[in-house]
Amino acid sequence: MTRSTWLHIAIGAICVVAALVFVRLHNASGATLPSDSASAGHRLAEAWCRECHAIDATTVGTRGGPPDFVAVANRASTTALSLKVFLKTSHQRMPNLIITPDQADDLTNYILSLKRD
Ligand code: HEC
C-alpha cells in the first residue's frame, strides 16, 4: 500500500474514535437520568422559586406564605402527575413563569427528591 492509503486509513480511524467519544459525551450530558434531572430542577428552583418558596431543607420559608418544597414533597397527595399538572397551570400570586415541559419534569424530579421515606 502507498503512504497516502495508510494516511487515509489513519484519518478514518481517528474520525471513528472521535465520533464514538462524541456520542458518549452526548449521552452523559443528556438530562435523562433522574438524578441529573433533579439537579437541573434544583438550579431552576434556585433561580425562579426561592424568592417565594423554601426550596430545600436549608432555606427558610415565610410563615403563612407559599408552602416549602420539602412539605409539598412529603404530602401524601403529591405525585409526579399532580406536580406536573400544577406547573402547567398558573396559580394565584405566582407570576406566570413560562415553564417548558422539560423544565417541569426537572422541577418535579427535584421536588420529589426532597421526599423523606
Ligand atoms: C411570587 C411568588 C412565587 C414564586 C416565584 C413561585 N411560587 Fe409557587 N406558590 C406561591 C404561592 C403564594 C403559592 C400558594 C398559593 C397558590 O397555590 O396559589 C404557591 C404554591 C406552589 C405549589 C403548590 C403547593 C401545594 O399546595 O400543592 C407548588 C408545587 C409551587 N408553588 C411550585 C413552584 C415552583 C416549582 C416555582 C418555581 C418555578 C414557584 N412555585 C415559584 C408563590 C410563588
Task: List, for residues 4-62, the tens digit of each pLDDT value.
Answer: 776 666 656 654 545 544 545 445 544 457 789 999 999 999 998 988 899 987 766 66
Atom of ligand 1 minimally distant from the CA of 50: 5
> For ligand 1, is residue 53 a contact (CB within 6 Å)?
yes
At CA 98, angle to CA 74 and CA 63, rounded to 5? 40
Task: List, for residues 73-99, the tens digit of each pLDDT value.
Answer: 999 999 999 999 998 886 666 666 788
Distance CA(98)–CA(50), nearest Å, equals 16
Cell 415565610 sits on residue: 62
